[in-house]
Amino acid sequence: MASDSYDVIVIGAGPTGENAAGRAVRGGLTALIVESELVGGECSYWACMPSKALLRPVGAVAEAAAVRGVTGARLEPAEVLKRRDSFAHDWKDDGQVKWLDGAGIDLLRGHARLAGERQVSVGGATITARHAVVIATGTGAVVPPALRGVRPWTSREATSATTVPGRLAIVGGGVVGVEMAAAWSALGSQVTLISRGGLLDRIPAFAGELVAAGLRHAGVDVRTGVNVTAATRAGDGGPVTLTLDDGTTAEADEVLCSVGRYPKTGDIGLSAVGLEDGSWLEVDDTMRVAAVPGGWLYAAGDVNHLALLTHMGKYQARICGDAIAARAAGREPAVRDIASKTRVPQVVFTIPEVAAVGVTAAQAEAAGMQVRVVEYEIGNVAGAGLFADDYRGHAQLVVDEDRQVIVGLTLAGPGVGEMIHAATIAVVGEVPLSRLWHAVPSYPTMSELWLRLLETYGL
């Protein structure tokens, strides 16, 4: 820290905080970023990067096994973990700190708390923000009372563990649950996946059903529609017994709890500025916290609960940093048609991959749209048959009939993650179907799915 006042102070040095500070500096402002852990945040060390580093070898072996004529592909767990460590930079943040330096952003290590209007306290120091404070503290993993006594893994331990547990029970059928079931089962764990609902319940049901079938085929014991009522661990570090509400039990050496996230806002001084400690932060289209007078407090990323995804946090951060710079220069920022609520892309790297963007049919109908749903088996596309023998996958397209544009697409099948950005462009750009028909997909790629969906629609 070079000063006791900055134009902008950002609390949290994850990807969202880094981008918010970077855009503010790009707009001609000075910025300080405060971080109590590693610069780079959850994504770099305990979420996106290490989890996908674990999952990519799993996917590569699965793809090889799905093509006749290819033999011998296998995982080496020790090498997979070593590669994972390299993507997490061995949990050292030197490279990220160097990036801050190069971007002209000052760093202060410590726990930050709001101390009043434009005031941030870190240790014994109080720093003043001349224009804005940005909260980008992210989220933590919820651990329900029934599991607290057995010291479960959260997403952090699941992505940083140094040994493969013999038996792993995963509680929660969301993204973390199905991704880590795929990763650790492939690395040699006997995995039991327990979900009180289905799998990936926020995505159309067919995707969760394909994932359940894929995980079962990979050897995972998938139990849906059940909940954990009690958990006990034998001794210090011994096996865990989970009691379920259907009268059955599950035994494991480690338990991963992946049932939800909470905002890390409980100890950052929200009450000092009239907000509730521990709350999600409601923001406007420029990420400004509307409930705080003076318009100086912003919240970007997971803490505003718009979309708990790294790429969306970075997107919000760019909007936020630009808005702060504009207002500091005496201009109102342009109102953006933000994609934070209804045009969010996401990829779930499990077995098989799931990718989605926009709204589901139910969400579109609830918003008052006249919709038509188009379904297609991805395996009928020539490129999918070349990608994998006996390819199994499904696509569901949601069309706003009044405007003749696509408002949602969900894909489930091997390799679909790399296809979703085309759909994101179509949804965000509101490309008319009549125009999209002229975007000819290359043959024989899996993207020919676009032609088949439009033909099925009737074009």
Q: Find the CATH number of the domain harbouring 131.
A: 3.50.50.60
Tokens read off for 47: 């979420």
* Residue 428 resides in a domain: yes
- The rounded radius of gyration (Å) of the Cα atoms in the chain is 23
* Residue 346 resides in a domain: no
Write down the H helix ranges in 187-278.
205-217
Within 10 Å of residue 364's Cβ, how many Cβ atoms? 21
Query: How confident is the model over 93-114, as a mean pLDDT?
Result: 97
Q: Which residues of 372-385 are buried (b: 16+ CB within 10 A; e: fewer)?
A: eebebebbebebbe
pLDDT value at residue 337: 65
pTM for the full predicted model = 0.95
Q: Which residues of 111-148 are buried (b: 16+ CB within 10 A; e: fewer)?
A: ebbbbebbbbbbeeeebbbebbbbbbbbbbbebeebbe
* Residue 375 resides in a domain: yes
Q: Is the pLDDT of residue 338 over 80?
A: no
Q: Is the pLDDT of residue 3 over 90?
A: no
Query: How far apart (Å, rounded) are the C-alpha atoms in residues 424 and 96?
Result: 29
Query: How confident is the model over 5-15, as a mean pLDDT?
Result: 98
Which CATH number does the domain housing residue 431 bear?
3.30.390.30
* Residue 20 resides in a domain: yes
Q: Of 227, 242, 259, at which residue does a domain stop?
A: 259
**Residue 450 and residue 419 share a domain:** yes
pLDDT value at residue 122: 97
**Residue 267 and residue 254 share a domain:** no
C-alpha dihedral sign at 279, 284, 286, 290 = negative
**Residue 396 and residue 440 share a domain:** yes
- Helix (H) / strand (E) element for 322: namely helix 310-328
**Residue 216 and residue 99 share a domain:** no
Q: Please, which residues bridge with residue 405 across strands?
A: 400, 432
**Residue 320 and residue 177 share a domain:** no
- Helix (H) / strand (E) element for 298: namely strand 297-299
**Residue 166 and residue 131 share a domain:** no
**Residue 246 and residue 314 share a domain:** no
* Residue 98 resides in a domain: yes
Query: How confident is the model over 362-371, as a mean pLDDT?
Result: 96
Q: Which of the four pLDDT bands, split at 50, 70 and 90, describes residue 441? A: very high
pLDDT value at residue 341: 76
pLDDT digits (tens, 9 = 90+) for 276-322: 999 999 999 999 998 999 999 999 999 999 999 999 999 999 999 99
Q: Report helix, strand and coil shares of the chain as percent, to nearest 5.
A: 35, 25, 40
- Helix (H) / strand (E) element for 181: namely helix 175-186
Phi, psi angles (nearest 5°) of residue 143: -120, 110
Q: Which residues of 17-30 are buried (b: 16+ CB within 10 A; e: fewer)?
A: bbbbbbbbbebebb
Asked if omega into 145 is within 30° of 0 (cis), the reply is no
**Residue 167 and residue 134 share a domain:** no
* Residue 11 resides in a domain: yes
**Residue 249 and residue 268 share a domain:** no
Q: Is the pLDDT of residue 340 over 70?
A: no
**Residue 221 and residue 172 share a domain:** yes
Q: Which of the four pLDDT bands, split at 50, 70 and 90, describes residue 342? A: confident
Phi, psi angles (nearest 5°) of residue 224: -110, 160
Report the C-alpha dihedral over residues 143, 251, 155, 86, rounded to 10 degrees. Answer: 160
Q: Among candidates 89, 15, 76, which has minimal Cα distance to 50?
A: 89
Within 10 Å of residue 330's Cβ, how many Cβ atoms? 6
Q: Is the pLDDT of residue 41 over 70?
A: yes
What is the pLDDT of the chain when averaged over all its residues? 96
Q: Are 135 and 12 in contact (CB under 8 A)?
A: yes
Print the SS3 string covering 372-427: EEEEEEHHHCHHHHHHCCCCCCEEEEEEECCCCEEEEEEEECCCHHHHHHHHHHHH
Alpha carbons within 13 angstroms on the beta-carbon side of residue 167 total: 12
The number of distinct structural domains making up the chain is: 3
Please state, in angstroms and as integers, the Cα–Cα distance from residue 391 to each residue in 259, 311, 446, following that order.
31, 29, 11
pLDDT digits (tens, 9 = 90+) for 152-162: 999 999 999 99
**Residue 14 and residue 121 share a domain:** yes
* Residue 53 resides in a domain: no
134: Cβ contacts below 8 Å, ≥ 6 apart: 8, 9, 10, 11, 17, 20, 21, 287, 298, 299, 300, 320, 321, 324
66: Cβ contacts below 8 Å, ≥ 6 apart: 387, 388, 389, 390, 391, 414
What DSSP designation does 333 have? P
Query: How confident is the model over 420-428, as a mean pLDDT?
Result: 96
pLDDT digits (tens, 9 = 90+) for 185-232: 999 999 999 999 999 999 999 999 999 999 999 999 999 999 999 999
135: Cβ contacts below 8 Å, ≥ 6 apart: 11, 12, 265, 268, 281, 289, 297, 298, 299, 300, 303
**Residue 275 and residue 149 share a domain:** no
Range of the domain at 301: 5-46+88-140+262-328
* Residue 398 resides in a domain: yes
Q: Of 259, 291, 319, at which residue does a domain stop?
A: 259
